[in-house]
Structure 1
Amino acid sequence: MSFPTRLQTAAGQVAGRLDAALATLPPSAVREAMGYALRGGKGLRGYLVLESAALHGVARDHALTAAAAIEAMHAYSLVHDDLPAMDDDDLRRGQPTVHLAWDEATAILAGDALQALAFELVCLPGQPNGAQMALTLARAAGAAGMVLGQALDIAAETAAQPLTLEEITALQAGKTGALFEWACTAGPRMAGADPAPLARYAAAMGLAFQIADDILDTEGDASTAGKRLRKDAEAGKATFVSLLGLDAARERAETLIDTACAALEPYGDGAQSLRDAARFVISRDR
């Protein structure tokens, strides 16, 4: 089975778990907006949870719940990032953003509810190491992780000088990398094993993912990507491509994927699916 097919299959299974969770909520515009925000996307973070869990012998049912949690957290971040006060985007995953499909208040509440759902899922009775999973998810998503990265990104729009390579690397380690690390280390954390090898894998892959995004924004002509690129250029914001150049950025991303794959050596052939995921990160079209 090809990697895209495996990824699509896993995404469908995680979506089913999320649909079941949403079905327990009272009908409302917020619930509808939550479901809308969860549609589409490749489900890569959820896939990483499932594969890291399988690598450590975690039951599939528990893994699916944790995978649903990270996809809910990621969806919350996208809903809020798209708001006019943030990135002010009109499209997400090929459809109007939540604040346009409904309104800003509903988008904010839907994002809040998706974040709460993520924590609810990892803390469900029977979930392995629920307290540790919730603690690490809070740290990954909060003011030392994803939220910090977004704050640094917003600040860069009005900074007197464009970010340096070191600064933009630190920014993306929070904005993108923190949730990738949680996803990749979910398996060993649920199993009570050492998360260090998969944390190293995640750090390299998460940075490669963002470099690939910058390359796609530079080369692509999709409306959302083009709008973001123009906005960044007008604000004088640096990207990996603007700092390194297109060819060097591609080379950096490929080197990072080699580093990510090397981190998987302790797992041998059992980690092939994670190697495939790493290579997918720099070969995807969005």
Structure 2
Amino acid sequence: MPDAIGAGTAARLEAWRRRIDGVLEAALSAHPAAERRLGEAMRHALLLGGKRMRPLLAYATGTAFGADETVLDAPAAAIELVHAYSLVHDDLPAMDDDALRRGQPTVHVAFDEATAILAGDGLQALAFAILADAGCSDAARVAMLRELAHAAGAGGMCGGQALDLAATGNGTASGLEALERLHALKTGALIRAAVRMGAIAAGAGDAERRRLDAYADALGLAFQIRDDLLDVEGESATLGKTPGKDAAQGKATFPALIGAEASRARLAALAAEMDAALAPFGPRADALAALGALAIRRSH
């Protein structure tokens, strides 16, 4: 992973952040909720900041292989909408019971539990509505819809959340292989889908997609290990959410299972895997490399 992100790459990432914020704002305005409070809750969940890692991955992958940003707007927005819905539901008392997200009250705290459930449902539905209207070929559109549905469903993110709930309270009871599978689904599935949808929109070849999968798989796991370390080491003001929740709830995490030092070593190994996967693409993969570095070094 690069020690520093070049000014040009940093500017591209910031431009994409501004772009996706505008796309998401426009999507909510174009598809207003039938009830005012529900619409406000959806906006609260979607527009109060965030790293925008998943849409950035879609833009970085797609543009690396020749796709226009206008074609990537729909998959970038769809992946962030699904991510936002998952956070709303993940924060509910029946799940992780979190009161703080991105430095703001979680949706069920700011509104109420019923409204939070409906807001999550609305965000998920909007994701597929937007992707169904993506400005690409019918074949690419269907392929992206299929990719997102599989990544978000019971064999992907939802399945990973179910495994996480089953492991909660067991602390270190899960083995390393089981823990990596849990997070490959809960966190990694949407990260892989973001990269894959960018590749689909750009018409990347099979060999290129295999390398992108290897990069995305390493990135997804690295992102989660860093998240686990931040929960142990971070502070609420920096994280924008409540630290120490994992240990308090007895969640199976990498630091709890293998220790903080071994977790950092695993991060370094995953960084090397990302470098190896992207190496044949040369400078066109600079934005992807930068996103990998940011995921590993982030403070929130």
TM-score, L = length of structure 1: 0.94
Which residue of 2 is the match for residue 253 of structure 1? 267
Counterparts of residues 212-223 of structure 1 (less than 5 Å): 212-222=226-236
Which residue of 1 is the match for residue 54 of structure 2? 45
Aligned amino acid, residue 274 of structure 2: A
What is the SS of the residue equivalent to 2:89?
Answer: helix
Q: State whether residues 145 and 175 of structure 1, in contact with CA within 8 Å, keep that contact through their aligned partners in structure 2.
A: yes
Structure 2 gaps, min length 5: 1-6
Which residue of 1 is the match for residue 98 of structure 2? 89
Q: State whether residues 13 and 287 of structure 2, in contact with CA within 8 Å, keep that contact through their aligned partners in structure 1.
A: no
Which residue of 1 is the match for residue 243 of structure 2? 226
Which residue of 1 is the match for residue 4 of structure 2? none
Q: What is the aligned counterpart of 1:154 among 165, 169, 190?
A: 165
Which residue of 2 is the match for residue 275 of structure 1? 289
Write the distance in 2 (CA, Å) between the matches of 1:140 and 1:279: 23
Identity across matched positions, percent: 47
What is the SS of the residue equivalent to 2:165?
Answer: helix
Which residue of 2 is the match for residue 165 of structure 1? 176
Write the distance in 2 (CA, Å) between the matches of 1:9 and 1:221: 29
How far residue 116 of structure 1 moved from its aligned partner, in angstroms, is: 0.8
How far residue 5 of structure 1 moved from its aligned partner, in angstroms, is: 4.9
Q: State whether residues 25 and 31 of structure 1, in contact with CA within 8 Å, keep that contact through their aligned partners in structure 2.
A: no
Which residue of 1 is the match for residue 219 of structure 2? 205
TM-score, L = length of structure 2: 0.89
How far residue 4 of structure 1 moved from its aligned partner, in angstroms, is: 5.3
Give the length in aligned residue pairs.
Answer: 283
Q: Flag the 1:97–1:2 CA change in 2: closer, same or farther, 3 A.
A: farther
Q: What is the aligned counterpart of 2:193 among 179, 182, 185?
A: 182
Aligned amino acid, residue 214 of structure 1: D
What is the SS of the residue equivalent to 1:85?
Answer: coil
Which residue of 1 is the match for residue 3 of structure 2? none
Aligned amino acid, residue 285 of structure 1: S
What is the SS of the residue equivalent to 2:77?
Answer: helix
Counterparts of residues 7-86 of structure 1 (less than 5 Å): 7-26=13-32, 28-38=36-46, 39-86=48-95
Aligned amino acid, residue 130 of structure 1: R
**CA offset digits 1:148-190 (Å, max 9, x no partner):** 0000000112459711111110000000000000111222212
Q: State whether residues 8 and 42 of structure 1, in contact with CA within 8 Å, keep that contact through their aligned partners in structure 2.
A: no
Write the distance in 2 (CA, Å) between the matches of 1:11 and 1:101: 25
How far residue 269 of structure 1 moved from its aligned partner, in angstroms, is: 1.6
Q: Which moved more, 1:84-93 or 1:190-199?
A: 190-199
Aligned amino acid, residue 256 of structure 1: L
Aligned CA-pair RMSD: 1.7
**CA offset digits 1:79-128 (Å, max 9, x no partner):** 00000110000000000000111111111111001111111111105334
The alignment status of 1:113 with 2:119, answered yes or no, reads no
Q: State whether residues 11 and 47 of structure 1, in contact with CA within 8 Å, keep that contact through their aligned partners in structure 2.
A: yes
Write the distance in 1 (CA, Å) between the matches of 2:122 and 2:25: 14
Structure 1 gaps, min length 5: none
Write the distance in 2 (CA, Å) between the matches of 1:83 and 1:76: 11
Q: State whether residues 79 and 98 of structure 1, in contact with CA within 8 Å, keep that contact through their aligned partners in structure 2.
A: yes
How far residue 6 of structure 1 moved from its aligned partner, in angstroms, is: 3.9
Q: State whether residues 230 and 243 of structure 2, in contact with CA within 8 Å, keep that contact through their aligned partners in structure 1.
A: no
Q: State whether residues 7 and 43 of structure 1, in contact with CA within 8 Å, keep that contact through their aligned partners in structure 2.
A: no
Q: State whether residues 170 and 252 of structure 2, in contact with CA within 8 Å, keep that contact through their aligned partners in structure 1.
A: no
